C-alpha cells in the first residue's frame, strides 16, 4: 500500500476502507481526558478511533464524535466485546450497550477482545449476525494466534476482516502476519510502542537519527511499511501530532530487516493462550 498521508486507507476483504493510522484510547480517562485526546487527534488528521467496553470510556468517545465537525462517514470507530460479556446472546446485548454509549447508529469495526475458549465460536456467530444485520461494517478479533483463527474459519461462515494483536519490534510474529495475508485478514498493532519500553532502543535510535525522526516515529513507519495498521495511544497533544508525522520519510528494506531482527517474543500483555490466568491473577491483586 502507498503510505503517503494520514488520510490513507486500506481496503478490507469485504470492500470497507479502513484508515491505516488511528488513535488508541486504552487507559484514557472517560470525560475530559479522552475527549481532549480525540479532539487533538482529529485536528491532526486522524480518522480512526479505537476503544473497547473494557476501557470504560465509550461515552466520552461518543461525545467527542458527536461534537466534532467531521462527518460521521469520514470516521472509523472500533470497539470490542469484553470477556465477561461473551457468548451469543450476551455479545448481542453487549454490542447494543456499546452502541448506545457511543451514541452511534452503527459501529465500523467490532472485535472480540480476547478469544475466550468455551464461547469463542458462539461469540463469533453473534458478530456474524451483527454484520449481516448491518449494525457493523466489519468484524474481527483481537489477541489471537493461528489456531484460534482456524477455529473461527471452521465454525463460522465469515473470516475475520481484522486481527488486532500486540505488535512491536520485540514481538513481530512474521508467520502469523503471513498467515493473515494469505487469509485476507488485515493485521493491526496494539501497543506498537511497547508501552514506552522500546523508546530507548539503540538500534532503532541509529535509524531514527539518520532520518531526523524520533524512535516512536520510526516504529510507526515500520508498522505501516510492513502492511500493519497501527493505533499508538497517547493523551498528549504533541505526542499525538508527532505520531502522525511519519509520512515524509521511508525506511529502506535493510532498515526494516534490522528492526525485524529485534524480535524475541517479548510481550507487554497476556499471551493469547494464557490470558484467562493472567486476568484472574490481576483480579486477585
Q: What residues are labeled active site?
A: 55
Measured between alpha carbons, how far is 110 from 226 in angstroms, rounded to an integer? 24
At 269, which helix (H) or strand (E)? none
Contact (CB, 8 A) for 91 and 121: no
pLDDT at 1: 62
Which residue in the block uniquely carries the three cell numbers 483463527? Answer: 149
- Check residue 284 and give its pLDDT: 58
Positions of the chain with pLDDT under 50: 285
Which residues touch 253 (CB under 8 Å, ≥6 apart)? none
The pLDDT of residue 283 is 62
Contact status, residue 159 vs residue 220, Cβ threshold 8 Å:
no
What are 20-38's pLDDT values in tens digits?
Answer: 999 999 999 999 999 999 9
Amino acid at each position: 500500500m502507498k503510505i503517503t498521508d494520514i488520510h490513507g486507507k486500506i481496503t478490507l476483504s469485504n470492500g470497507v476502507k479502513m484508515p491505516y493510522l488511528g488513535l488508541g484510547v486504552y487507559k484514557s480517562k472517560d470525560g475530559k481526558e479522552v475527549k481532549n485526546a480525540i479532539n487533538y487527534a482529529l485536528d491532526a488528521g486522524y480518522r480512526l478511533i479505537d476503544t473497547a467496553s473494557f476501557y470504560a470510556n465509550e461515552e466520552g468517545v461518543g461525545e467527542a464524535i458527536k461534537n466534532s465537525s467531521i462527518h460521521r462517514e469520514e470516521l472509523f470507530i472500533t470497539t470490542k466485546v469484553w470477556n465477561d460479556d461473551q457468548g451469543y446472546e450476551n455479545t448481542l446485548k453487549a454490542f447494543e450497550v456499546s452502541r448506545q454509549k457511543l451514541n452511534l447508529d452503527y459501529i465500523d469495526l467490532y472485535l472480540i477482545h480476547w478469544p475466550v475458549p468455551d464461547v469463542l465460536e458462539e461469540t463469533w456467530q453473534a458478530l456474524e449476525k451483527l454484520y449481516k444485520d448491518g449494525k457493523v461494517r466489519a468484524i474481527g478479533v483481537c489477541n489471537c494466534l493461528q489456531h484460534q483463527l482456524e477455529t473461527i474459519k471452521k465454525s463460522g461462515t465469515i473470516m475475520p476482516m481484522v486481527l488486532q494483536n500486540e505488535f512491536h519490534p520485540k514481538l513481530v510474529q512474521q508467520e502469523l502476519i503471513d498467515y493473515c495475508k494469505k487469509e485476507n485478514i488485515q493485521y493491526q498493532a496494539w501497543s506498537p510502542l511497547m508501552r514506552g519500553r522500546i523508546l530507548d532502543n539503540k538500534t532503532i535510535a541509529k535509524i531514527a537519527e539518520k532520518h531526523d525522526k524520533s524512535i516512536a516515529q520510526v516504529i510507526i513507519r515500520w508498522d505501516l511499511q510492513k502492511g500493519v495498521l497501527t493505533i499508538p495511544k497517547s493523551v498528549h497533544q504533541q505526542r499525538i501530532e508527532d505520531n502522525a508525522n511519519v509520512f515524509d520519510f521511508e525506511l529502506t528494506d535493510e532498515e526494516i530487516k534490522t528492526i525485524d531482527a529485534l524480535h524475541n517474543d517479548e510481550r507487554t500483555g497476556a499471551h493469547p493462550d494464557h490470558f484467562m490466568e493472567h486476568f484472574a491473577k490481576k483480579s486477585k491483586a
